[in-house]
Amino acid sequence: MNKNALRKLLLTQAVIVLGWMVVGSPPAQAQFQYGPPTNPIPEPTPKPRPDLDPRFDILLRGKTWSPLPVDPFQTPLERMAAVDTEFKQRFGLTGLEPENNLSLAEIQNVLKQAEERGRGRTALIYWWLRDGNLTVAMVLPKGVAEQTTFLSTVSMNAREVQQTISQFINAIQDPRQRATTHYRVPGQKLYQWLIAPLEPILDKHQVQTLLLVPDEHFRGLPYRALWTGNEHLVERYRLSQIPSINLVNLDLTSKGIYGQTVVMGSEDFGGRQPQLPAARIEVNQIAEITRGQKHLNQDFTASNFLTAWQRHAGFAFHVATHAEFLPTRSYIEFYDQPLELSALQRQLRANPSELVVLSACRTAIGDVNAELGFAGLAVRLGAKRVVASLWRVEDEPTLALMNDFYRRLRANGENLPHSEALRQAQIAMLRGDLRVQDGQLVAANYTVPLATTHRSSNPNFTHPYYWAAFNMIGNPW
């Protein structure tokens, strides 16, 4: 039999046997356990999940399913490796990024080590949309189960995906819809495509953290607001996004933030950008919480920032300012001038910062190149993790979220994963436990006076517009 005939035969067989690479019956659906309580936020009560898109029946119902054929000479693991290499080449633009070159076994070992250090169980998840097919792949830690790698490919129209993403983001950002839950319809559809097929396995193995590696179609998605039918995704999992597993600082040690934070920001930018009236309170509060160094208004210059970065290797940096990540120009705004991202990249690469927070930045949602700029920020700065926003949020809800985020990190020392601190703060907002009332920021166990001239248009921050914009990129632990 010649090679073409053999290839044709194998393609035919692939139609029948490929799909989710699960030996035997699909895993039974198990009750989700979030793990040991580390905070006062209650565990979500498991509820029946909605029906899935019928294209994913194979996982939950065990029906016969024939996915589209793929290259029979390429194993699922080879496909995942090829995709990660593609992402790495796309994002690794400077030659300065960490070069991990991890094998699958080494990746699984890192996930296992994170769990052993009390960081919870993590699943590495890939999504890519190519040639009318959506592929979802997942890697679990070493030793969790006999099978720890899974892959599925289903037919999916790229235009339908983009339209659904646009509907989801528009329903969240549109001021006229902030008193509604219209975003849940497209949000649930996206959940069914991207997460629901994995839920039986995630539940069975009690996964707590999702480390997401999306392609360009999904990089600007506010994952935390995806709707499961009963709750938002952030109420179920910790979440962090990465450009490639081999372009991330996977150091599992944590230095904490107390006394090791540089806090910077400005209320005014000389007319170049809109004012940030709550920036003064934000900077003062976070500096007090972290016992950090403070650079406010006139002290928030590009020169002072670069000097602080060079002097304080491994510190956390909080920057309350504007930033743009666009195809034509990417920069961060300082009191005295904007500084191009390329200039920052050249001078900041020597500092593997514990955390970088850009609390007032935004990106151009829906522009693939801008999404690349945003998603690539973590590797360009060399930081372990970056927290920034997908769109510009009013400064009072930003102050509320950031204040609560740092208080949780401070209260739990080095024991609380950064992704969990962000998750808890976002849950507090969406449940109405973090709000503005009588001129104060009110939380469960503290209040903060808001002596600003500007007041948020809505003191109720439960809608995803106020909290779902904030995304974590990089190391979730």
* CATH code of the domain covering residue 429: 3.40.50
Same domain, 187 and 309: no
For the stretch 340-366, pLDDT in tens is 877 777 776 657 889 999 887 765 444
Residue 383 pLDDT exceeds 70: yes
Q: Indicate whether 427 belongs to any domain.
A: yes
- 209 and 283 inside one domain: no
Residues 139 and 104 both lie in one domain: yes
Query: Which of 213, 222, 131 minimizes the C-alpha distance to 378?
Result: 213
**Residue 147, beta-bridge partner list:** none
- Angstrom distance (rounded) from CA 262 to CA 425: 21
Residue 420 lies in a domain: yes
Query: What is the mean predicted confidence (pLDDT) over 192-208?
Result: 95
Name the percent of the chain lying above pLDDT 70: 71
CB distance 398 to 265 below 8 Å: no
What is the pLDDT averaged over residues 73-81?
59
pLDDT digits (tens, 9 = 90+) for 417-472: 999 999 999 999 999 999 888 888 899 889 988 765 555 555 789 999 999 999 99
Q: Does pLDDT of 59 surpass 70?
A: no
- The average confidence (pLDDT) of the chain is 79
| 272/286 Cα distance (integer angstroms) | 25
Are 303 and 209 within one domain?
Answer: no
DSSP at 371? H
> Which pLDDT score is estimated for 20?
38
Q: What is the pLDDT of residue 210?
A: 98
- Which tokens in the block code for residue 131? 């040639």
User: Same domain, yes or no, for 273 and 158?
Assistant: no
pLDDT at position 329: 75
Query: Same domain, yes or no, for 60 and 205?
Result: yes
**Structure tokens belonging to residue 285:** 């509060």
Residue 21, domain member (yes or no): no
Q: What is the pLDDT of residue 324?
A: 79
Query: What is the distance between the alpha carbons of residues 468 and 223, in angstroms, rounded to a whole number?
Result: 8
With residues binned 3-state (H G I as helix, E B as strand, rest as coil), the percentages for the chain, rounded to 5, are 40, 20, 45
Phi, psi of 249 (to 5 degrees): -75, 110
Q: Are residues 219 and 312 in the same domain?
A: no
Contacts 24+ apart (CB under 8 A), 280-283: 280/452, 281/399, 281/448, 281/450, 281/451, 281/452, 282/320, 282/359, 282/395, 282/398, 282/399, 282/402, 282/403, 283/318, 283/320
First-to-last alpha carbon distance for the chain, in angstroms, is: 52
Give CB contacts under 8 A, 24+ apart, made by 339-347.
339/302, 339/305, 341/373, 341/377, 341/380, 344/380, 344/381, 345/94, 345/96, 345/380, 345/381, 347/306, 347/309, 347/310
Give the DSSP H or E segment for 3. helix 3-17
- In-domain check, residue 23: no
Residue 241 lies in a domain: yes
| Sheet strand arrangement including 293-296 | 149-155, 133-139, 122-130, 209-214, 238-241, 470-474, 385-389, 355-358, 316-320, 261-265, 293-296
Residue with token string 């952030």 = 234
Domain-located, residue 4: no
Total of domains in the chain: 2
Where a domain ends, among 178, 212, 247? 247
169, two tokens: 């983001």
**Which of 204, 225, 247 is a domain's end point?**
247
Neighbours of 51 (CB within 10 A): 12
Q: Give the model's confidence band at 234: pLDDT under 50 very low, under 70 low, under 90 confident, else very high.
A: very high
Sheet holding 435-437, edge to edge: 435-437, 440-442, 447-449
Q: Please tell me whether residues 446 and 315 are part of one structural domain.
A: yes
Is the pTM value of this prediction over 0.95?
Answer: no
Residue 47: pLDDT over 80: no
Residue 31 has pLDDT above 50, yes or no: no
Residue 395 structural domain: 261-474
- Give 114-156 pLDDT, tens digit per residue: 999 999 999 999 999 988 999 999 999 999 888 888 888 889 9
Cα torsion 134, 222, 112, 383: sign = positive
Residue where a domain terminates, one of 224, 247, 270: 247
* pLDDT at residue 334 is higher than 90: yes
In a domain, 184, yes or no: yes
CA distance 327 to 460: 34
Confidence of residue 255 (pLDDT cuts 50, 70, 90): confident
Of 327, 334, 389, the C-alpha closest to 362 is 389
Structural domain includes residue 16: no
- Tell me: do 407 and 299 sit in the same domain: yes
Q: Which residues pair with 316 in a beta bridge?
A: 261, 355
Q: Are 215 and 346 in the same domain?
A: no
Number of residues written out for the chain: 477
In this structure, are 309 and 361 located in the same domain? yes
The answer to whether residues 232 and 267 belong to one domain is: no
